[in-house]
């Protein structure tokens, strides 16, 4: 099937597309499909496939005759084998008189960009708002909803798509086994034992047959097994700080944690009026420890490159690693002729590549998180979070935000604005403020005393809330260390600096646990263990960094030679 690829402008503004990172090794590319837009009460759904090359800031549009039909609110999941699986979604006619869900499965080849429709009669029901994640050779699907016109049904079923056979299998559970409530729009992220389900939204019957919305805040561990009949759910206890209830903020996976941005919570949901709180906060969720942490932006630091000194440190570490291997008689015979780059050389090239990218395209970097929103599309490439679009509401008006951002999850020292067009929203703010000013002038005298009284009460409430929040944060200042015997990263220390400082220790650990490996394979195992450890303790190190910055004036943490005498200053 012929595939046409052409360079194009960025995608037009749209709601509920899906965006995933390319699963191809070393391919720093985003893949975006579908979405919808409403203008002048007319809806339009898309079936466009786009890719975004991070290396050179180029968007490409891919078209072929064998493409999925237009849709939004579908689910896509990239598998390390090099494919992207898509299921379901929804479509409506321009005047929204016709609406239906899809129940089809498509597989996209991430290299050739060819679509393949999978025909299987026994598969998941058509749905929207479901979630998918990877476990070994399976794509796992959970939840979603079906709008049947007069009634919305929320789903709690779970399915496995085997990427070796391209077949769906439904997971069955014993009648007495507790399972999560039916839901859609939830978080579903990988875990070493399977996956974690968090939050979401559903509706339950209220008075007179009317359905009432419910925001879920529970978390469940899905314990996977090769035999679908052996899969079990385990409800996780709430502990420590947790985000306030919200929807429209599904987590995206990064280094054994979920990253969550934005969301919305409706305080007073009724047919007449809805009071909503919109969020633009950034949180991380440690999937193994079941703990939440706030990610706050830090001031950017000017990077000072001392390349000669760094090169010497790299060479010193290489000599130390080789001497450890030689002493254990585990050197490769052709180590000296091995042309493969060392791990820290790759890290250096990655840092240089990031610097070059920043120089190539001068994207503005701001020290504030994007405007509050919900249903933003997010994904992670390497250690960078990308945020595309989203929705904000003011009164009865809905704003489809035309924007895209990037946040370095290692440094969290600013938001790179790839583009941002909030002119419609800003105009609404100006018009609304003018109206409010006129009304305030008329009512000021009558309400002054009442406002003062209310403000005093609100201040008392705020003070109580702040005390409670501070107590919660104090409880979370120490994160349990699952492997205290391993070296620990220091505040403001990069992964590369951590590896240079501790590489020898990690190599010794790798030798003790990989008896049959040799040379470069042991070095790679040592680096992988070091990187895993770096991200395992990243949230704890971030807390220490925040504490140091609160003291004021902390610049860089510099390694000193403690064998030399120094003067007190």
HEC sequence for 192-261: CCEEEEEEEEEEEECHHHCEEEEEEEEEEEEECCCCHHHCEEEEECCCCCCCCCCECCCCEEECCEEEEE
Q: What are phi and psi of 389, to 5 degrees?
A: 60, -150
Which of the listed residues 407, 423, 439 is the one where a domain comes to its end?
423
- Is 371 part of a structural domain of the chain? yes
Q: How far apart are CA 500 and CA 495, in angstroms?
A: 9
- Is 110 part of a structural domain of the chain? yes
Closest C-alpha among 199, 205, 194 to residue 251: 199
Could you tell me if 394 and 529 lie in one domain?
A: no
Could you tell me if 417 and 485 lie in one domain?
A: no
Q: What are phi and psi of 323, to 5 degrees?
A: -70, -35
pLDDT at position 34, please? 97
Global model pTM greater than 0.75: yes
- Is 428 part of a structural domain of the chain? no
Q: How far apart are CA 488 and CA 242, in angstroms?
A: 26
Closest C-alpha among 345, 346, 321, 255 to residue 526: 321
8 Å CB contact between 88 and 74: yes
DSSP run (H or E) holding 506: helix 495-513
The number of folded domains in the chain is: 2
Could you tell me if 258 and 339 lie in one domain?
A: no
- Is 470 part of a structural domain of the chain? no
Could you tell me if 416 and 529 lie in one domain?
A: no
Which of the listed residues 423, 453, 468 is the one where a domain comes to its end?
423
- CATH number at 416 reads 2.120.10.80
3-class SS of residue 538: helix
Could you tell me if 314 and 216 lie in one domain?
A: no
- Is 120 part of a structural domain of the chain? yes
Could you tell me if 291 and 195 lie in one domain?
A: yes
Could you tell me if 152 and 212 lie in one domain?
A: yes
Could you tell me if 282 and 239 lie in one domain?
A: yes
8 Å CB contact between 114 and 107: no
Ordered per-residue pLDDT tens for the chain, 569 residues? 689 999 999 999 999 999 999 999 888 999 999 999 988 889 999 999 999 999 999 999 999 999 999 999 999 999 999 999 999 999 998 888 889 999 999 999 999 999 999 998 899 999 999 999 999 999 999 999 999 877 889 999 999 999 999 999 999 999 999 999 999 999 999 999 999 999 999 988 777 667 788 999 999 999 999 888 999 999 999 988 899 999 999 899 999 999 999 999 998 755 567 789 999 999 999 999 999 999 999 887 765 544 445 555 666 666 666 776 666 665 655 544 443 455 555 565 555 555 555 555 689 999 999 999 999 999 999 999 999 999 999 888 899 999 999 999 999 999 999 999 998 888 877 766 555 555 555 555 555 545 544 554 544 444 444 444 444 444 455 778 888 889 999 988 888 888 888 888 888 888 887 767 667 778 888 888 888 888 888 888 888 888 777 765 444 443 434 333 333 33
Could you tell me if 370 and 355 lie in one domain?
A: no
Q: How far apart are CA 114 and CA 108, in angstroms?
A: 6
Q: What are the distances in angstroms from CA 388 to CA 10, 74, 233, 371, 405? A: 11, 16, 32, 12, 7
Could you tell me if 314 and 166 lie in one domain?
A: no
Could you tell me if 183 and 220 lie in one domain?
A: yes
DSSP run (H or E) holding 498: helix 495-513
Report CA Rg, the chain. Answer: 26
- Is 455 part of a structural domain of the chain? no
Q: What are the distances in angstroms from CA 552 to CA 207, 545, 546, 549? A: 56, 11, 10, 5
Q: What are phi and psi of 471, to 5 degrees?
A: -65, -40
According to DSSP, the residues that pair with 385 across neighbouring strands are: 380, 407
State the DSSP string of 423-456.
Answer: HHHHHHHHHHHHHHHHHHHHHHHHHHHHHHHHHH
Q: How far apart are CA 405 and CA 415, in angstroms?
A: 7
- Is 530 part of a structural domain of the chain? yes
Task: Quote the domain boundaries for residue 486.
Answer: 307-359+480-551
DSSP run (H or E) holding 406: strand 402-408
Q: How far apart are CA 248 and CA 21, in angstroms?
A: 20
- Is 228 part of a structural domain of the chain? yes
Which of the listed residues 406, 423, 440 is the one where a domain comes to its end?
423
Could you tell me if 232 and 245 lie in one domain?
A: yes
């Amino acid at each position: 099937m012929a595939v046409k690829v052409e360079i194009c402008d960025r995608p037009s503004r749209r709601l509920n597309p899906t965006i995933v990172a390319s699963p191809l090794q070393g391919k720093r590319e985003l893949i975006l499909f579908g979405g919808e837009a409403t203008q002048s009460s007319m809806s339009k759904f898309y079936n466009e496939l786009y890719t975004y090359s991070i290396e050179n800031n180029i968007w490409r549009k891919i078209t072929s005759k064998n493409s999925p039909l237009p849709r939004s609110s579908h689910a896509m999941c990239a598998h390390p084998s090099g494919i992207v699986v898509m299921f379901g979604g929804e479509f409506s006619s321009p005047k929204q008189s016709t609406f239906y869900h899809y129940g089809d499965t498509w597989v996209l080849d991430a290299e050739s960009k060819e679509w393949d429709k999978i025909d299987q009669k026994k598969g998941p029901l058509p749905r929207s708002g479901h979630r998918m994640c990877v476990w070994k050779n399976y794509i796992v699907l959970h939840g979603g909803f079906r709008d049947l016109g007069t009634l919305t049904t929320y789903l709690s079923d779970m399915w496995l798509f085997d990427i070796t056979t391209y077949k769906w299998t439904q997971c069955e559970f014993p009648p007495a086994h507790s399972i999560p409530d039916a839901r859609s729009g939830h978080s579903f992220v990988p875990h070493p034992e399977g996956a974690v389900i968090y939050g979401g939204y559903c509706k339950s019957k209220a008075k007179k047959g009317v359905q009432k919305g419910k925001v879920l805040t529970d978390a469940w561990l899905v314990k996977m097994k090769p035999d679908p009949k052996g899969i079990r759910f385990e409800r996780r206890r709430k502990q420590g700080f947790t985000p306030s209830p919200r929807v429209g903020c599904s987590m995206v996976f990064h280094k054994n944690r979920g990253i969550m941005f934005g969301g919305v919570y409706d305080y007073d949901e009724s047919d007449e009026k809805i009071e909503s709180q919109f969020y633009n906060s950034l949180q991380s969720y440690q999937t193994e420890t079941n703990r939440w942490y706030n990610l706050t932006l830090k001031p950017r630091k000017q990077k000072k490159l001392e390349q000669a000194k760094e090169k010497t440190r790299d060479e010193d570490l290489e000599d130390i690693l080789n001497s450890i291997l030689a002493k254990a008689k585990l050197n490769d015979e052709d180590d000296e002729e091995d042309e493969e780059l060392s791990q820290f050389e790759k890290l250096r090239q990655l840092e240089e590549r990031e610097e070059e990218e920043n120089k190539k395209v001068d994207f503005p970097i701001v020290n504030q998180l994007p405007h509050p929103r919900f249903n933003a599309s997010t994904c992670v490439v390497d250690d960078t979070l990308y945020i595309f679009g989203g929705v904000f509401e003011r009164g009865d008006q809905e704003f489809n935000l035309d924007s895209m951002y990037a946040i370095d999850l290692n440094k969290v020292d600013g938001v790179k604005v790839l583009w941002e067009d909030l002119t419609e929203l800003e105009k609404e703010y100006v018009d609304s403020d003018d109206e409010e000013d006129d009304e305030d002038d008329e009512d000021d005298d009558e309400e002054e005393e009442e406002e003062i009284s209310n403000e005093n009460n609100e201040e008392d409430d705020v003070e109580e809330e702040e005390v409670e929040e501070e107590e919660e944060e104090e409880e979370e200042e120490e994160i349990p260390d699952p492997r205290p015997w391993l070296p620990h990263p220091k505040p403001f220390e990069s992964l590369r600096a951590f590896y240079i400082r501790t590489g020898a220790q990690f190599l010794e650990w790798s030798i003790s646990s990989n008896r049959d490996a040799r040379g470069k394979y042991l070095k790679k195992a040592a680096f992988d263990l070091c990187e895993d450890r770096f991200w395992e303790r990243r949230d704890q190190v971030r807390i220490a960094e925040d504490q140091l910055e609160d003291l004021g004036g902390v610049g860089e943490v510099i390694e000193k030679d403690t064998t030399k005498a120094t003067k007190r200053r």
